[in-house]
Amino acid sequence: MNARNARFTGLVYLLYFLTAIFSTTLHGPNLAIYSETLNVISIACYAAVTLLFYAMFKPVNKNVSLLAALFGLAGCATQALSNFHLIPSNVSPLMFFGPFNILIGYLILRSAFLPRILGALMVLSGVAWLAFLVPSIASHFSPYIEALGIAAEGLLMLWLLVFGVSSRNVRRPRTL
């Protein structure tokens, strides 16, 4: 993984954010098809980010990176199926995106090519997404959980876009 590949990952991540935001802001019967189309594109972008993260973090720990990718892709599949009402409504993509963020955060903490604060934020956001699955927590803390998740992933996306990764440290994992 070099800085250019990391910036490409950041760009795809940005595309995910933009399409996800725009898909939720389009309302009305004439805009529903555009909203659904953008939603499908955002899911595809997140699946691409998941695969790009797998490649990025494979040198840190191949097995954990693969497990994170499986959780991320399962979350994308669950999101896509739920958008078309093909799975029960009680199956939330967050049950996959929470562990995905935790594992990506762990891999960032272990890597020597991204700041540890990004890893800590990703772990916290993953725990928050899992806490969101508990209705009593979700009802009281929903805005804070969503803000933490958006902030963690947004900062990671911005870091990748602006700074990329330190390519000389890609193969050398940190000890925790």
Residue-wise pLDDT for 103-142, tens only, equals 999 999 999 999 999 999 999 999 999 998 998 888 889 9
Confidence of residue 75 (pLDDT cuts 50, 70, 90): very high
Rounded CA-CA distance 45/39 in Å is 10
Rounded CA-CA distance 9/121 in Å is 18
The pTM (predicted TM-score) of the whole model is: 0.92
- What is the structure's pLDDT at 172? 56
Encoding tokens for residue 15? 């595309």
Rounded CA-CA distance 121/105 in Å is 7
- Residue 99's H or E segment, with its range, is helix 94-110
Q: Under the phi-then-psi rule, with left for phi > 0, alpha for psi from -120 to 50, and beta for the rest, what region is 85?
A: left
pLDDT surpassing 70 at residue 94: yes
Rounded CA-CA distance 145/117 in Å is 18
So where are the chain's domains? 3-166
pLDDT in tens, 50-65: 999 999 999 999 999 9
Owner of token pair 């529903």: 32
